[in-house]
Amino acid sequence: MKGYEELFSYFEENLKQQAFDNKPSELYAPIQYTLGLGGKRIRPILTLMACELFGGEIEKALPQAIAIELFHNFTLIHDDIMDNAPLRRGEVTVYKKWNSNIAILSGDTLFALAYQYVQKADTNILPVTLNVFNKTAIEVCEGQQFDLNFETKNNLSVDQYIEMIKLKTAVLFAASLKIGALIGGASFNDAEKLYDFGLNLGLGFQLKDDFLDTYGDEHIFGKKTGSDILANKKTFLYLKALEIADKETRKRLINYFNSKEGGIEKFNEVKAIFTRLKVDRLALEKIEEYRKIGLSSLDKINLLPEKKEKLFAISSLMIERDK
């Protein structure tokens, strides 16, 4: 099986060959800009890996891998509008560079283009491929709505947060693998096990994002830390802290997260509370727990261990990363 680096180069080269320079230019220029911002491309690479895992040729899964990446970028464009985010991957976001109306239309076009690519699957697996893609698209939108709802709710639990990130983030990793596996000729049973692997990996991936936003090294992480705390985002770290804090500490945390003021002082104070309560360690333990559950699902697939080696490696890339 090909490794991450080789598949990354293969995917990037083929993505650049796609024609996204139609007219009107105001609609398509933001699409080219967004796709040109790069990223790890983990989701489409998982699709290609899963296809190859079961003996399929990666060329057959390329259109669906592109579909996954287009859909992911559609969600990023719309998320940035909803979050009022000025930067994405260190560059100005689409709605800031153009405007919100153009960003919405360009995002919608990416969504439609994703369907054009996903439907290029062989007719014998097209219905199930579309079912997986449709279900995932709906779940991602549900997750985003839960995320928006959480902004104005104070009585959230860790379990509710995990369910939200499962829908908003993890299901797309899972679907990327399942679609690739089906194209590669996997049985439905094995494709489902690979889905479970991706789902748990996706949960760990998002929790690691939460962790790095507070505890990451800015020079390695590639962006300023503390944005979640300063934006009052109710992440695993915050909700776990509320769960185990004494009454006085809980009150202080809630006060911090009900205020838009504070800046670096607020970040330092909240981070100190997290560290004192050891929620940073609890987060890392939870991340490792999800990885173990995911690897257990991968283990159950009846293939030689060496065939699964690249997926083990990418699981480490996703979970052990520091950026």
> Using one digit for the tens of pLDDT, what is the confidence trace for 103-145?
999 999 999 999 999 999 999 999 999 999 999 999 999 999 9
Give me the chain's average pLDDT, please: 94
What integer pLDDT is reported at residue 221 of this predicted model? 55
What integer pLDDT is reported at residue 89 of this predicted model? 84
Name all domains of the chain by residue range, CATH numbers in brackets: 4-319 (1.10.600.10)
What integer pLDDT is reported at residue 222 of this predicted model? 53
Q: pLDDT-derived band of residue 220, with 50, 70 and 90 as boundaries?
A: low
What integer pLDDT is reported at residue 66 of this predicted model? 98
What integer pLDDT is reported at residue 135 of this predicted model? 98
The residue ranking higher by pLDDT, 217 or 95, is: 95
What integer pLDDT is reported at residue 83 of this predicted model? 87
Tell whether the model's pLDDT for residue 49 goes beyond 60. Answer: yes
3-class secondary structure per residue, the chain: CCCHHHHHHHHHHHHHCCCCCCCCHHHHHHHHHHHHCCCCCHHHHHHHHHHHHCCCCHHHHHHHHHHHHHHHHHHHHHHHHHHCCCEECCEECHHHHCCHHHHHHHHHHHHHHHHHHHCCCCCCCHHHHHHHHHHHHHHHHHHHHHHHHHCCCCCCCHHHHHHHHHHHHHHHHHHHHHHHHHHHCCCHHHHHHHHHHHHHHHHHHHHHHHHHHHHCCHHHHCCCCCHHHHCCCCCHHHHHHHHHCCHHHHHHHHHHHCCCCCHHHHHHHHHHHHHHCCHHHHHHHHHHHHHHHHHHHHHCCCCCHHHHHHHHHHHHHHHCCCC
Question: How do residues 167-181 score in pLDDT, each as one tens digit?
Answer: 999 999 999 999 999
Average pLDDT over residues 216-232: 77
- Beta bridge mates, 92: 87
What integer pLDDT is reported at residue 322 of this predicted model? 75
What integer pLDDT is reported at residue 209 of this predicted model? 93
Question: How do residues 247-271 score in pLDDT, each as one tens digit?
Answer: 999 999 999 999 988 899 999 999 9
